[in-house]
Structures are given as structure tokens and as C-alpha cells.
Amino acid sequence: MNILFASSEAHPLIKTGGLADVSGSLPRAILGLHHDIRVIIPAYREILKHAQQLTLAAYLDLEGVRLPVRILSGRLPGGNVKLYLVDSPPHFDRAGKPYTTSSGSPWLDNAERFTVFCRAIHALAVNDAGLDWQPDIVHCNDWQTGLVPVMLRETSAAPASIFTIHNLAYQGLFDWKTFQSLKLPDDWWSIDALEFHDKFSFIKGGLIFADWLTTVSPTYADEICTPEFGCGLEGLLTLRKQSLTGILNGADYTVWNPGRDLHIPVQYNLRSLFHKIENKRDLQEHFALPVDNAVPLFTVISRLVEQKGIDLILEILPDLVKQNAQLVVLGSGDSQLEAALQQASARHPEHIGIHIGYDEVLAHRVEAGADIFLMPSLFEPCGLNQIYSLRYGTVPVVRRTGGLADTIVDTTPETLADKTATGFCFHQASATALWSAVERALAHYRKPDSWAQIMDTGMRQDFSWKRSAQQYVELYTRIIAQHKYGQILESNVIQ
Ligand code: ADP
């Protein structure tokens, strides 16, 4: 199969969250299954600065774009996946982050930027870019690519499309004036198309018009069809439930493997787990915490936003301190949450260490050095850090939602007996419920045998891409066949 994989970020070129991890590793796994998959992302300045061996593949004249857009071609680092960069300097060659300025405000022209991106993806998808290559299917990811399925529906002999929801909370909503300025077909502003409560919704383009929908865990696929998690789109998603599949994200164990991780002071694996202590010492020193292996060391690595349940963590901090535990937090995001965590650290420097910012290397050191990983998300489409934590023997305490429910097995007398326990889960989104899970974790931490067993089971879990990539390939095959069959039926009707 020929597959065009469209995403607004891809590790290691550019990353704001889990989407980049997926876009950096899933295509490699699919290439390994012998399919011609090519990744397309915007040519942000950050990428142009570091990317090597790019060649000019095409010039595109796109509707509504004054200057020609260049398609640069190269390889995704760390593998052999072909990469296309959409180089439109007025839209992407600027200082700052992919969706926001350096200080975190959304770019005012985001709708225009990602409309240009979608137009370029469409041009490649219908073999209109002079590349002499056409995909059988376009795999779109999140709202930034949401217009592609609509554009494809309006093109004859277009490839099939699949749209993956990585986080339904981000929908790409813009006002009527913005919609008008984009010069898109008028009939797209309709409740049956892209209008959503008087706004122009990019994500609806994917949700309504893609041949198939996926999301990143089976539990989240069910959850988004309910009012609690559907962000107002549960009705539409329920209608499409027959074409919605949850496929768990995989972890890239070439990047996240404590046995080969060059970012951590001392590598370790199941047979040399005693080396984890040295990583713990490194982490305690780094955060100026008392160096003591007996003290349980908790960690959070996260975007600091409401979704991640950071409020709940703030509420249990006094209890953690009372228990003489330590906590290190690596994250950035909401300025109030950042300030609250910094204040807590200033009040209890012997117990709480904070690093505000995004630091890939430190994330590895934290995973290696900590004992317990906290992830009390209010909702979590898949979540990757709890999966990385398992491999690093850092036992996760998670809320039972979305991908967290699908990846962590709660510790109970039964799961300990049958050796399936990998962490601690709680249900209610409350500090009391989180604290009772933490207390259970602490009780087991003090029993070295049962703790060693939980770590051991976690480290043996295999969440590599192998199985999930196979599931995507099976789905692509089915959708392409269905799409072609539908086109034949349609053309018969027209005749
Ligand atoms: P989300 O996509 O909602 O942010 P995920 O758990 O799916 O959450 O993925 C988050 C990814 O971003 C992980 O690879 C995690 O290690 C990384 N990450 C998040 N915050 C930071 C940070 N401050 N520094 C380094 N890596 C981070």
C-alpha cells in the first residue's frame, strides 16, 4: 500500500506532545511491514534549522496562497521513512512553537496556516504535485489535518482517508470571519459540514468526512461517545461508532529503553535493576533533595494543564510531605499551575523539586530515577509516559480512564497472586481517591518483595508498535477496499 501520513508534528524533528511520538514511530513500524508510507509535516523554522539533506521536490500553486509553496523531501531521522515538508515561509518559518508564540498565545493565523497545510496534503494525495506518486490512503491526525477528508470528498478518484483523534479536546475552532477569509466553499458552513455552535470546526472535517475514524485507545473510543468525554461531539461520534476503532499507541523502545538509554547516568535492565538506585541518586542530587534511597520518590512529567489532574496533585502535596516522600515535577503549561507548584517547592525544598520547561533528556533521567509515576488525568486518550514508566520500573499510579485504563493493571490480592499487577488505579477524579491509591502504593513500596514483583511485571510488558502497526495495516486494507467499492457503486449510479 501507498500511505501518506499527515501530522502537524513528528519526533525528533518537532514535538509538543504524544502526537509527535506517534508520528515519529508508527510510520517506521508500518514501513517495517513493507508498505510505502511517507510522512508530511509543516516546515517549521525549528525543523529547517536542524534537518539535513533536504531536496526540493515540488512547487505547489495553492488556492488562496500568494507565493508558491515548496515541498522539500528528506528522511525522518532514525529510520528510512520518506519525509515531505510543506515549506511556506510566511506560515511556518517563524520563531516560536508550532501552534503558539514562544509565550504560549495561539498564533492568530492558525486557521490560515493549517488550511495551507491541508491544501498541500490534498495536492500530494491526488498526485497533483508532480511527484509521480499517489497514496491509496491518507492518514490524517488531529484537527490540523481535518480539512483534508472534506477536500478529498470533493475530488473524483481521490484516495481513501482515515482520521485519528489524538485528543478530542483540541478541535481547531475559529469564527465566521476567519472562515470567510479562508475562501473555502460556502456550503462548508453548515451543521452537516464544518459548522459547530456558530464556529468553524476543523476537526469536524475529519469526524464527518473521513472514511474511517480511529482513536488512540479502546477505552477512549467508548468514552468519546458519551457526554462526559465527547466535548459536545458525542452525538456525531455515536452516529459514526460503526466506523470508529480504538488502537492503542505503541512505545518506541529504541528511544525508551533503560538498558540502552544514553541520556541516563547508569543503564539498567531487569537483570541489573540495582543500578536504578544510582539513577535515583542522580535525580535527588539534580533537584537538591536529600539523597536517600529509602525515601519514596514520586514524579510527574507532563504538560501542566487541567486535563492532567495537576490540581489533584497539588491537593495531596501536604500529605506526601507528611509521609516524608519526595516529588519531582518536570513540566510546563498553565502559568497558575506552574506558580502553584513552584510555591510548593519553595515551601518544601527538601521534599519537592520542580523543573518548569520542556526537557527531553531530563525526562529520561526522571523516568530512570523515580520510584512512582503519578498520572491522575481527568481524561487521557492514550498517555505515553505511564507506558515508558513501566519499562523503567517506575510504578504508575493512574486514574482509570482512557489509555491509562487499557495499559495499567491495578494491584489487588488477585493480580498480585497471578502476577499481572503493574500499578495502582483509582476511579473518582478526586484528591481523596488519588491519595488512597498513593497510600496503597506506599504500603507496597515498604514491602520489598511485592514491590519488586510489581516492577518486574511492569518492565516485562510489551507495548511496542508491532501489534498496533499491524492493526492499522489491516484497517487500511479494509478501508481502501471499501472506498474503491463505494466509488465503483457511485460511478454506476451516475451512469
Ligand atoms: P500529551 O500528548 O497529552 O501531552 P502523552 O503522555 O501522550 O501526553 O505524551 C507526552 C509526551 O511528551 C511524552 O513523550 C512525554 O515524555 C513528553 N513530555 C511532556 N512534558 C514534557 C516535559 N516538560 N519535558 C519533556 N518531555 C515532556
- Between CA 213 and CA 37 the distance in angstroms is 19
CB burial string 226-257: b at 16+ within 10 A, e below: eeebbbebbebbeebeeebbbbbbbbbbebbe
Residue 453 alpha carbon to ligand 1 centre in Å: 27
pTM, two decimals, is: 0.95
- The DSSP bridge pattern shows strands 212-215 and 2-6 to be unpaired
Ligand 1 centroid – CA 415 distance (Å): 29
CA of 276 to the centre of ligand 1 (A): 22
Buried-state track 279-307, b at ≥16 Cβ within 10 A, e below 16: bbbbbbebbebeeeeebbbbbbbbbbbeb
- What was the pLDDT predicted at 349? 98
Alpha-carbon distance 46 to 368, whole Å? 28
User: What is the structure's pLDDT at 486?
Assistant: 79
Interatomic CA distance for residues 126 and 56, integer angstroms: 19
What domains can be seen in the chain, in order of their start residue?
2-250+466-494 (3.40.50.2000), 270-459 (3.40.50.2000)
The answer to whether residues 5 and 27 touch, using CB atoms and an 8 Å cutoff, is yes
Cα 300 to middle of ligand 1, angstroms: 10
Contacts of 491 (CB under 8 A, 6+ apart): none
How many Å lie between the centroid of ligand 1 and the Cα of residue 167? Answer: 13
Q: Give the closest residue (by CA) to ligand 1 atom 14.
A: 18
Task: Give the C-alpha separation, 412 to 50, whole Å.
Answer: 48
CA distance 264 to 276: 10
Q: Contact 115/182 with Cβ under 8 angstroms? A: yes
Q: Residue 159 gets which letter from DSSP?
A: P
Asked whether the beta carbons of 27 and 21 are under 8 A apart, the reply is no
Query: Could you tell me the distance, in angstroms and rounded to a whole number, from the CA of residue 250 to the centre of ligand 1?
Result: 14
Q: What is the pLDDT along the chain (495 residues), one digit of tens a residue?
A: 999 999 999 999 999 999 999 999 999 999 999 999 999 999 999 999 988 799 999 999 998 888 999 999 999 998 999 999 999 999 999 999 999 999 889 999 999 999 999 999 999 999 999 999 999 999 999 999 999 999 999 998 899 999 999 999 999 999 999 999 999 999 999 999 999 999 999 999 999 999 999 999 999 999 999 999 999 999 999 999 999 999 999 999 999 999 999 999 999 999 999 999 999 999 999 999 999 999 999 999 999 999 999 999 999 999 999 999 999 999 999 999 999 999 999 999 999 999 999 999 999 999 999 999 999 999 999 999 999 999 999 999 999 999 999 999 999 999 999 999 999 999 999 999 999 999 999 999 999 999 999 999 999 999 999 999 999 999 999 999 999 887 776 666 654
Q: Ligand 1: which residues within 6 Å by Cβ?
A: 17-18, 21, 301-303, 330-332, 358-360, 363, 382-385
Report the atom number in ligand 1 closest to the C-alpha of 249: 7
Q: Which atom of ligand 1 is nearest to the CA of 21?
A: 14
Give residue 251's pLDDT.
Answer: 94
Residues 187, 194: Cα–Cα separation, whole Å: 9
The x, y and z cell numbers of residue 315, run together, are 491537593
Q: What is the pLDDT of residue 485?
A: 84
Pocket test for ligand 1, best of 144, 334, 385 (most atoms within 8 A of CB): 385
